[in-house]
Amino acid sequence: MRPYISLVNFSIANSSSDRVKAVTSSPRLNVLSRMFGQSAALCLKIQKRNFSGTASPAFLLAMAMGLLVAPSMVVAAAGESKLLVSATILKHASLQVLAQPPSVVVTAADIARGYVDVPSPAQVAVQSNTQGGYMLMFESQGEFFRQTLVKGLDTDVQLGASGGGVAQRAAGRGMSKTLLDLGFRFVLSDSVRQGVYAWPMRLSVTPL
């Protein structure tokens, strides 16, 4: 059945007692019924039967809203649940070149000796958060040498003409930063000529 409620309007009586009369207003019955349902009807019926005195319509509306809100609060409390949150820390490693030689100068004496030592080291900063360490990668972009000897790591490393990778241990737990001063010796190719060559090594890092 469609709920039926009585909308109560208050008007001041003309009698000397100034008592409040409850008057049913039919044109607005359906509107309040659709908005507030049976809870509002119950509240208004209680007020109509038991209340007398100087009260405002806003007081009755507040009573009806209270009956509507209270049950929803009980339902929310009964439906509480715990949410477990877990986080996974992603592996991270980054490399920043602080300084490196702009070029490699090959002289006739270097060709006769078979290699050239770079006088200034390359300075890099490696930042990593992995306990397994990181892989330091050397990519060769030069054709004037056939091998590279890298100094400044745990041990000296010899790389081929195309470069290679060297695994490095982690400096500690959590995010750590390591500063490296890397020296280079290039073993010259048979066809090399004396001159100035652009810096041939590109460095990168990968977390392990």
pTM beyond 0.85: the answer is no
Closest CA to 105 of 4, 17, 184: 184
Give the largest CA-CA distance in the chain. 128
Domains in the chain with CATH codes: 8-78 (no CATH), 93-207 (2.60.120)
Give the pLDDT score at 59: 53
Give the pLDDT score at 20: 37
Average pLDDT over the chain, rounded to whole? Answer: 75
- Residue pLDDT, tens place only, 150-184: 999 989 999 999 999 999 998 778 888 999 999 99
